[in-house]
Amino acid sequence: MSLWLAVAATGCAVEPPSQPDGWDSAVALQSARDLDARPGVVEVDLTARVGDVEIVPGKKTPTWTYNGGLPGPLIRASVGDRVIVHFRNELSEPTTVHWHGVRLPAEMDGAPGHSQPETPPGGGFTYDFVVPDAGLYWYHPHVNSAVQEGNGLYGPLLVEDPDEPAELGDELVLVLSDISLRDDGSLEDPDAGGNLGTLFGREGDLLLVNGRVNPVIGARAGLRQRWRIVNAAKSRYYQLLITDHRFTRIGGDGGFLEHPVEEDRILLTPGERADVVVTPRGAPGSTLSVRWVPYDRGYGATFARPEVEAFRLRLADEPVVHDEPLPEVARTIEALDTTAARHVDLQLTREEDSDDVVMGINGVPSWKAEPLMAAVGETAVWTVENTMAFDHPFHLHGFFFQVLGADGQPVRPLAWKDTVNVPVDGSARFAVRYDNRPGMWMFHCHILDHAEAGMMGMLHVVR
Ligand SMILES: [Cu+2]
């Protein structure tokens, strides 16, 4: 009998059960150091530079990093905090930092040529914004993004709400990605696979969880864990499952859902986030495999990549047989009123070009596109139609939206999202309200090879 059971049986006051010692050390993230002692202000240094990272044991990979790590440091803030990031570019090419999902002013969005100039090699930029919404966000470059992000430039930004229920589960931030290396450990050529690579979207051969290949996380049978997950891969869809287990999804891109949903697998397109609770079960001392399983995102997707283990849970010898119920995490989300909404109709298209793969929106690649116009305070319904034989994860900068079903009604449970999948031969529809943040905002496919091939556009929100 475990100590916990023995004490519980006697009715004495007890320590809550804990995860095994060192349970999360295999996926520990470096944290950004807060340089400002004031409450309500998080001030960090962030430098993009090439650094040697050991991805495959015994091999050094010169990786593109923020602050030398893969992924970049975890930036932690609370709702309403001011976040100041002193960014330095020590790469050999220009870059910017985009804060995916954060409702910040357009000037801080990292969209080159629209909201800020590119930051040249040796240059810097100070990002300074308030984080108004709880949730897991992430940061990555918005210049030459398929290459820069694919080479390792991404990191998590966690905005916590001190008022959320306690004891949802011991928390892990999991940054999922992938990468391809040559035999000597160096990074694969970013143009590998040529036009076919661009058309499909390049996936790395190695799955990474917080920069590690197949790490082992400690767990205790019966003791809940809360996983805050972001898919930071440039093309790969993540579909995760554990045999005989279910996940309770409590949140998505922009914080909690209207109410939790039970799922037998977690699907994340590039850019999406999930907040899930899982209770591992199994024999003490055994191992559970968290598997990546193929998701059909277009021709070849399900046979090009066989199922593979993403990470493992090792169950401690002492289980917890006393299940604590999940605290209530319901959230009131008002459905947007779309009765007078402006309608925006987009088609994701492939363009005729004899030499290169060129993609576009409404038949125009990004470099020829005129911005869509919108007004502050306006509500719009976007319908994004897919004319290609590949899924596209569609991301709108700066604003959350509510996904609508074919009947025009919001999908339940209601959720605030910034990235939504547009399936092959299908469409996605969402409602968005442009709150008072005028400026130029980008939207694009988050398969970054597609975005760089032209599947990107701009939304100009004016007062
Ligand atoms: Cu795409």
* Tens digits of residue pLDDT in 321-345: 777 889 999 899 999 999 999 999 9
Would you state the pLDDT for residue 335? 98
Whole-structure pTM value: 0.95
Banded model confidence at residue 354, pLDDT cuts 50, 70, 90? confident
Q: Which CATH architecture has domain 12-160?
A: Sandwich (2.60)
Banded model confidence at residue 320, pLDDT cuts 50, 70, 90? confident
What's the CA-to-centroid distance between 447 and ligand 1, angstroms?
5
Would you state the pLDDT for residue 14? 64
What's the CA-to-centroid distance between 425 and ligand 1, angstroms?
13
* Order of all β-strands in the sheet with 61-66: 61-66, 41-53, 82-89, 124-130
Residue 344 contacts residue 383 (beta carbons within 8 Å): yes
Banded model confidence at residue 319, pLDDT cuts 50, 70, 90? confident
Residue 403 has pLDDT above 80, yes or no: yes
CATH homologous superfamily for the domain 342-462? Cupredoxins -  blue copper proteins (2.60.40.420)
Segment holding 10, helix H or strand E: helix 3-10
Tell me which DSSP letter residue 196 carries: H
What's the CA-to-centroid distance between 51 and ligand 1, angstroms?
30
What's the CA-to-centroid distance between 445 and ligand 1, angstroms?
5
What's the CA-to-centroid distance between 420 and ligand 1, angstroms?
11
What's the CA-to-centroid distance between 371 and ligand 1, angstroms?
19
For 358, other C-beta atoms within 10 Å of its C-beta total 17
What's the CA-to-centroid distance between 313 and ligand 1, angstroms?
33
What's the CA-to-centroid distance between 298 and ligand 1, angstroms?
10
Burial 276-297 (b: 16+ CB within 10 A, else e): bbbbbbbeeeeebebbbbebeb
Average pLDDT for the chain: 94
- The single-letter code of the amino acid at 163 is D
> Quick one: tokens of 258?
């209207």
For 352, other C-beta atoms within 10 Å of its C-beta total 6
Would you state the pLDDT for residue 13? 56
What's the CA-to-centroid distance between 344 and ligand 1, angstroms?
19
Q: Which residue has the tokens 């911005």?
A: 371
What's the CA-to-centroid distance between 229 and ligand 1, angstroms?
21
Banded model confidence at residue 1, pLDDT cuts 50, 70, 90? very low
Residue 44 has pLDDT above 90, yes or no: yes
Give the three-class secondary structure for 106: helix
What's the CA-to-centroid distance between 452 and ligand 1, angstroms?
10
What's the CA-to-centroid distance between 161 and ligand 1, angstroms?
33
Percent of the chain topping pLDDT 70? 97
What's the CA-to-centroid distance between 244 and ligand 1, angstroms?
33
Would you state the pLDDT for residue 4? 43
**Total number of residues shown for the chain:** 463
What's the CA-to-centroid distance between 455 and ligand 1, angstroms?
7
- Choose among 104, 102, 101, 43: nearest CA to 76: 43
What's the CA-to-centroid distance between 250 and ligand 1, angstroms?
27
Strand-pair category, 372-375 with 419-422: unpaired
Q: What is the 3-state secondary structure (H, E, C) of 233-293?
A: CCCCCEEEECCCCCEEEEEECCEEEEEEEEECCEEECCCCEEEEEECCCCCCCCEEEEEEC
Banded model confidence at residue 387, pLDDT cuts 50, 70, 90? very high
Residue 441 contacts residue 461 (beta carbons within 8 Å): yes
Q: Which residue has the higher pLDDT, 435 or 17?
A: 435
What's the CA-to-centroid distance between 297 and ligand 1, angstroms?
10
What's the CA-to-centroid distance between 318 and ligand 1, angstroms?
46
CATH homologous superfamily for the domain 167-315? Cupredoxins -  blue copper proteins (2.60.40.420)
Cα distance between residue 64 and residue 119, in whole Å: 16
What's the CA-to-centroid distance between 175 and ligand 1, angstroms?
21
What's the CA-to-centroid distance between 143 and ligand 1, angstroms?
17
Residue 299 has pLDDT above 90, yes or no: no
Give the three-class secondary structure for 305: coil
What's the CA-to-centroid distance between 141 and ligand 1, angstroms?
18
What's the CA-to-centroid distance between 300 and ligand 1, angstroms?
15
- Residues of the chain within CATH 2.60.40.420 domain(s) are 12-160, 167-315, 342-462
Strand-pair category, 379-386 with 342-351: parallel
In degrees and rounded to multiples of 5, residue 303 shows phi and psi of -110, -10
Q: Is the preceding peptide bond at 215 cis, omega within 30 degrees of 0?
A: no
Mean pLDDT of 128-144: 98
What's the CA-to-centroid distance between 368 and ligand 1, angstroms?
18
Banded model confidence at residue 230, pLDDT cuts 50, 70, 90? very high
Would you state the pLDDT for residue 117? 93
Residue 411 has pLDDT above 50, yes or no: yes
Listed range (102-116, 145-159, 436-450) with the worst mean pLDDT? 102-116
What's the CA-to-centroid distance between 422 and ligand 1, angstroms?
9
Segment holding 448, helix H or strand E: helix 448-452
Strand-pair category, 98-100 with 135-140: antiparallel
What's the CA-to-centroid distance between 225 and ligand 1, angstroms?
33
Tell me which DSSP letter residue 93 carries: S
> Quick one: tokens of 226?
């809360």
Mean pLDDT of 183-189: 94
What's the CA-to-centroid distance between 430 and ligand 1, angstroms?
18
Banded model confidence at residue 7, pLDDT cuts 50, 70, 90? very low
Listed range (6-20, 73-87, 423-437) with the worst mean pLDDT? 6-20
Give the three-class secondary structure for 62: strand
What's the CA-to-centroid distance between 390 and ligand 1, angstroms?
7
What's the CA-to-centroid distance between 247 and ligand 1, angstroms?
28
What's the CA-to-centroid distance between 389 and ligand 1, angstroms?
10
Would you state the pLDDT for residue 5? 42
For 3, other C-beta atoms within 10 Å of its C-beta total 11
Residue 71 contacts residue 209 (beta carbons within 8 Å): no
What's the CA-to-centroid distance between 442 and ligand 1, angstroms?
15
